[in-house]
């Protein structure tokens, strides 16, 4: 079990930021990453659909024999985290709680901003967690075009800055000192976001915080890989255009994602559905 890979999934390339952070922290671990490009983007879709898509992918990862699951997608985490914990016997981690913990510890004036997809913002998953600290004021903003920019490989330029300014201005007006990047795609836009909000606003990225949680989990449960063989990194995409996924991943991450397997998903029966 220790030498089985960690399974990660996202709607597209955004979760690769989490995979990169895990590789930096745990270079001896094997990873299997699935991008559900067939159904991307998740943000504007109904929560029930996101739940179904997500569980289909997680089922396939479990069938492949991973030792832990990382839901590297905020929208999916908000839609089906409880289902995943009840459905699988292996550990399941997600990206929302680690970011919230970090933001709570960082903020100085108690005014925190959150940007995310429409699905994540409407789920109020972050609001529920921040409500445990009533002295913290949370201001949220959906940024639907951010995922579109990243998935098209556009992370800089005048249009990105213009849209970022429109999205972030209401948060700046609230005098936030901490901004949660509530989507794993958003770290690719860190430069533009930081330029708009300024150096006094701390950016909290779920990729690094989630990698820290993975490290703690594997250490606490004695699940660290101990094989003398080199670790493996496998990339899969549910959409048929695996070359586009590979090219975009290479461009954004600057690492060799030379081969991406096509792994189509099928409809599965969910509890409470026919």
pLDDT tens, 181-190? 999 999 999 9
pLDDT of amino acid 267: 39
pLDDT of amino acid 254: 74
Q: How far apart are CA 150 and CA 184, in angstroms?
A: 10
> What is the average pLDDT across 23-50?
94
pLDDT(268) > 50: no
pLDDT(173) > 60: yes
pLDDT(272) > 50: no
Question: What percent of the chain is modeled with pLDDT above 90?
Answer: 85
- Name the band, by pLDDT with cuts 50, 70 and 90, for residue 258: confident
> What is the average pLDDT across 136-140?
98
> What is the average pLDDT across 142-153?
94
Domains of the chain listed by start with CATH number: 6-94+208-262 (3.40.50.1860), 96-206 (3.40.50.1860)
> What is the average pLDDT across 228-257?
88
**In sequence order, what are the residues at sequence separation of 6 or more whose Cβ sits closer than 8 angstroms to the Cβ of residue 193?**
115, 164, 168, 179, 181, 186, 203
pLDDT(113) > 90: yes
pLDDT(273) > 70: no
Which residues are catalytically annotated? Answer: 73, 183
Q: How far apart are CA 9 and CA 179, in angstroms?
A: 24
pLDDT of amino acid 206: 86
- Name the band, by pLDDT with cuts 50, 70 and 90, for residue 266: low
pLDDT of amino acid 92: 97
pLDDT of amino acid 131: 96
> What is the average pLDDT across 169-185?
97
pLDDT of amino acid 256: 75
pLDDT digits (tens, 9 = 90+) for 73-102: 999 999 998 899 999 999 999 999 999 999
């Amino acid at each position: 079990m220790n030498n089985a890979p960690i399974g990660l999934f996202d709607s597209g390339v955004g979760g690769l930021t989490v995979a990169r952070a895990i590789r930096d922290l745990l270079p001896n671990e094997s990873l299997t990453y699935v991008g559900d490009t067939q159904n991307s983007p998740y943000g504007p879709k109904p929560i029930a659909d996101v739940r179904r898509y997500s569980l289909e992918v997680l089922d396939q990862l479990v069938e492949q024999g991973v030792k832990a699951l990382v839901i590297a997608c905020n929208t999916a985490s908000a839609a089906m985290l409880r289902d995943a914990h009840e459905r699988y016997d292996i550990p399941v981690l997600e990206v929302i709680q680690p970011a919230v913990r970090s933001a709570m510890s960082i903020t100085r004036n108690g005014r925190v901003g959150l940007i995310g997809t429409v699905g994540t913002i409407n789920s109020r998953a972050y609001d529920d967690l921040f409500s445990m600290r009533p002295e913290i004021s949370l201001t949220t903003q959906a940024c639907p075009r951010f995922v579109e920019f990243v998935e098209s490989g556009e992370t800089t330029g005048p249009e990105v800055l213009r849209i970022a300014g429109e999205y972030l201005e209401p948060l700046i007006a609230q005098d936030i000192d901490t901004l949660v990047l509530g989507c794993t795609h958003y770290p690719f836009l860190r430069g533009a976001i930081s330029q708009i909000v300024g150096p006094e606003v701390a950016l909290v990225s779920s990729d690094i915080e989630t990698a820290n949680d993975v490290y703690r989990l594997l250490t606490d449960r004695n699940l660290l890989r101990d094989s003398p063989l080199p670790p493996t990194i496998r990339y899969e995409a549910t959409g048929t255009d695996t070359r586009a996924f590979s090219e975009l991943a290479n461009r954004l991450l600057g690492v060799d994602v030379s081969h991406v397997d096509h792994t189509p998903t099928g409809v599965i029966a969910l509890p409470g559905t026919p």
